[in-house]
Structure 1
Amino acid sequence: MSPRSGYTLPVFACAAAIAALRYLRQPQALVSVEVDLLEPSQTVDILIEQVAGLRADAAIAITRSDPGDNLDLTRDTPVWAMVEWGKDEQTEPILLLGGEGIGRHQVDDQPAIYSYAKRLLLHNLERWLEPEEKVRVTLILPEGRSLAQRTSNAAFGVVEGLSLLGTSGISQPLSAPGQLESYREDLKQKGSAFDGLVFCIGENGLDLVKQMGVDSARLVKTANWLGPLLVEAGMQGVKSILLFGYHGKLIKLAGGIFHTHHHVADGRMEILTAYCAKEGLSTPDLQTIFASPTAEDGLKYLRKLDAETGSDWVERVYGAIAETIDQRSQAYIHTHSDRTVRIGTVLFDRSRQVLVKSKNGAALLEQLLLG
């Protein structure tokens, strides 16, 4: 039996907002609402658990997350949306706010509601508004704060809750047994259309590289199946691959680890420490790096050294890591498929800023942006 797909968290937030707005307009019992997913282009019915009026100008609705056959920690978590009529001073027709359990960016304190979620909500709510009407939509994840402690959100500068992140409304069964085969099929289709592809482990990479202007048709989501998909790309005759990802994940490839799930292998701090030693970092500093809780903390320490001493440890260490990722990935493909594929690497940090590009990575990214 094929694994069952579900829907991403923004879809349930959108469904709750639609139900609350419809109730605000006309109190009614709602079992489900239709949501236009935009990505992909289809309309689906999402169950509504509860909907009620709070006062004459406000209503609230509740849905429950269903990510399908996926080991997703948001499974069955309630998703609330409170909709209120907007005030005169409100400039936009729909104002999106993050309530309890919606994460906030440390940099600017804005709610972690990303581009797809915003487009989804605005598109679906606009059709229920009359001209000149305005609404305030507050999204709430009652369990978001506690669930966020089990995610890597903090590594990307998101605190106090979960992100409404995603590039599609469909939640593919990423950790189900059929995942790799479905990813291979996607890779085959894209490999037949393009000589050069971009591999991204997760949604942060996919979202960021699209914002930079790379054609989404070239993007391949790999989850933690980097090794098998690199080999598959070689077998399919792909000429080049840009590995675009968070340094705390892709650093594993520099240590020869090609299945990146932490249950299989970790070694991130060991790998980072080894490359620091190779570049000549002092023993006390190596001990600090090795004892760092996360790769992001190790990067922070190197940046601190650079700021204090005018050194260039970040560039040297991560430059060496990126070049090694290229070399090891190319060798891995050749070993397992007898094919030669040009690999380039771009690593970004928790602020979703590009940290380093290998020589191949810079060249491939430039080609992709030029079209």
Structure 2
Amino acid sequence: MNNAEPRSGYTLPVFACAAGIAALDCLHNIEINQTVSLDLIEPSATVNIPIQQVAKIQENIALGITISDPGDNLDLTRNTPIWAIVEIVKNSQTDEQIIIKGGEGIGKQINNNQKDAIYSYAKKLLHHNLKQHLKLEETIIITIILPEGRKLAKRTSNEAFGVVEGLSLLGTSGISQPLSAPSQLELYQQQLKEKAKQFDTVVFCLGENGLDLAQKSGINPQQLIKTANWLGPLLVTAGLEKVQSILLFGYHGKLIKLAGGIFHTHHHLADGRREILVAHGAKIGLSTPILQQLFTCETTENGLQKLRKLDQEMGTNWTEKIYESLAETIDKRTQEYIHKYVDFDVNIGSVLFGRDRQIIITSKRGETLLNS
């Protein structure tokens, strides 16, 4: 048995920054070794990042390439190439020394005027590190490219949260903690045990969006537990710790898996979301042609929008009926899952929200827990 600690890695902004440093140094005719050093800022640490390739494209333009290494995570960006094209701008008309752009494979924010999905930590990291390599009067444009970004984005929930055509340069830290590595579960379980001593009800948040929306909904932050994809083991731990009630708070494209009995929610391990949605459509009496349309939807969010459009056109309430069925099934199957392993009844409620970060449905038990 391998009891080695899971290995942490680095987030995408770190590799983008390293590629940019390599390209800029190349333009300055500085010899590039196998790595470049950069300051992560968060946390405060200097690290060496391997450089895959670097070359001048033109006299004032260079390309640097790194390869993503997220550590021991089930992360679809593993071994993804990250390109940074740096151009030294002559006769610049701007006061900005560093202009950051997103190229191919960097997503666009549909709810933010199609801005590049390059967020605050990535920008801070790039500005801080590249400035140290700039000459005093120099202005550069750095364009970040993820050649496989558009393809990989189809396997994420990015579109559900308003990012299309690629991946995001997201994160608040340079370290990619092994949240999906098995030994990380122990940390989550310890947090749950501590909260179980303080509260009869805890709130399981599936992902950062669930965590953020739960807090904005007025739920006590001390009751919140981010589960990552370790939902099944944490539910059992809650039962063992005699937690009275659990409110499941998450994006419908994740929580819907529980209605199908899938309690490890990482897409690498199990899916079935489309089939679960169609099954509940059949349960409440949708016609075969409509069920066939639902089955062809690429994502659960697409299915939700199709149902809402149908309701609008026909004056029906299929969306409400299907999601009521899903929420009640999630509650029931989750309670059964815990009872399968622990002789203790935990009261389960659920809240499902959509891409617009608006709540789609709250189960009856969920309403009770929210109002308690």
Interval containing the TM-score (normalised by the shorter chain)? 0.7 to 0.9
Shift of 1:55: 5.7
Identify unmatched segments of 5+ residues in structure 1.
Answer: none
- CA distance in 1: counterparts of 2:87 and 2:218, whole angstroms: 36
| Correspondence for 2:190 | 188
* CA separation of 1:32 and 1:304: change in aligned 2, threshold 3 A: same
- CA distance in 1: counterparts of 2:352 and 2:272, whole angstroms: 18
| Correspondence for 2:228 | 222
| Correspondence for 1:324 | 329
- CA distance in 2: counterparts of 1:192 and 1:137, whole angstroms: 46
Deviations 1:254-287 (A, max 9, x none): 2333233556654433432333344443454334
| Aligned residues with identical type, % of pairs | 57
The answer to whether the 8 Å contact 2:25/2:32 transfers is: no
Q: Is 1:336 the equivalent of 2:332? A: no
Larger radius of gyration: 2
> What SS class does the counterpart of residue 33 from structure 1 fall into?
strand
The answer to whether the 8 Å contact 2:6/2:183 transfers is: no
| Correspondence for 2:69 | 66
- CA distance in 2: counterparts of 1:116 and 1:212, whole angstroms: 26
- CA distance in 2: counterparts of 1:53 and 1:131, whole angstroms: 21
* CA separation of 1:64 and 1:135: change in aligned 2, threshold 3 A: same
The letter of the residue matching 2:204 is: F
- CA distance in 1: counterparts of 2:186 and 2:175, whole angstroms: 18
| Correspondence for 2:49 | 46
The answer to whether the 8 Å contact 2:207/2:226 transfers is: no
Shift of 1:335: 4.0
TM score, norm. by length of structure 2: 0.77
Deviations 1:96-115 (A, max 9, x none): 31112222345543323345
Which of the numbers 6, 16, 36 marks the counterpart of 2:19?
Answer: 16
Q: Is 1:136 the equivalent of 2:141? A: yes
| Correspondence for 2:105 | 101
> What SS class does the counterpart of residue 275 from structure 1 fall into?
helix
Shift of 1:139: 0.8
- CA distance in 2: counterparts of 1:356 and 1:259, whole angstroms: 22
| Correspondence for 1:244 | 249
The letter of the residue matching 1:14 is: C
- CA distance in 1: counterparts of 2:156 and 2:125, whole angstroms: 24
- CA distance in 2: counterparts of 1:132 and 1:19, whole angstroms: 19
| Correspondence for 1:171 | 176
The answer to whether the 8 Å contact 2:63/2:86 transfers is: yes
> What SS class does the counterpart of residue 308 from structure 2 fall into?
helix
- CA distance in 2: counterparts of 1:159 and 1:260, whole angstroms: 22
How many residue pairs were aligned?
A: 362
TM score, norm. by length of structure 1: 0.77
The letter of the residue matching 1:222 is: A
Q: Is 1:295 the equivalent of 2:297? A: no
- CA distance in 2: counterparts of 1:117 and 1:342, whole angstroms: 41
The answer to whether the 8 Å contact 2:72/2:178 transfers is: yes
Q: Is 1:2 the equivalent of 2:5? A: yes
Which of the numbers 76, 81, 88 marks the counterpart of 1:78?
Answer: 81
- CA distance in 2: counterparts of 1:52 and 1:217, whole angstroms: 51
Q: After alignment, is 128-137 or 117-126 more displaced?
A: 128-137
Q: Is 1:355 the equivalent of 2:360? A: yes
* CA separation of 1:164 and 1:276: change in aligned 2, threshold 3 A: same
- CA distance in 2: counterparts of 1:265 and 1:125, whole angstroms: 41
- CA distance in 2: counterparts of 1:364 and 1:116, whole angstroms: 36
* CA separation of 1:129 and 1:211: change in aligned 2, threshold 3 A: farther
The letter of the residue matching 1:97 is: K
Deviations 1:206-238 (A, max 9, x none): 576678898599442332x32112111332454
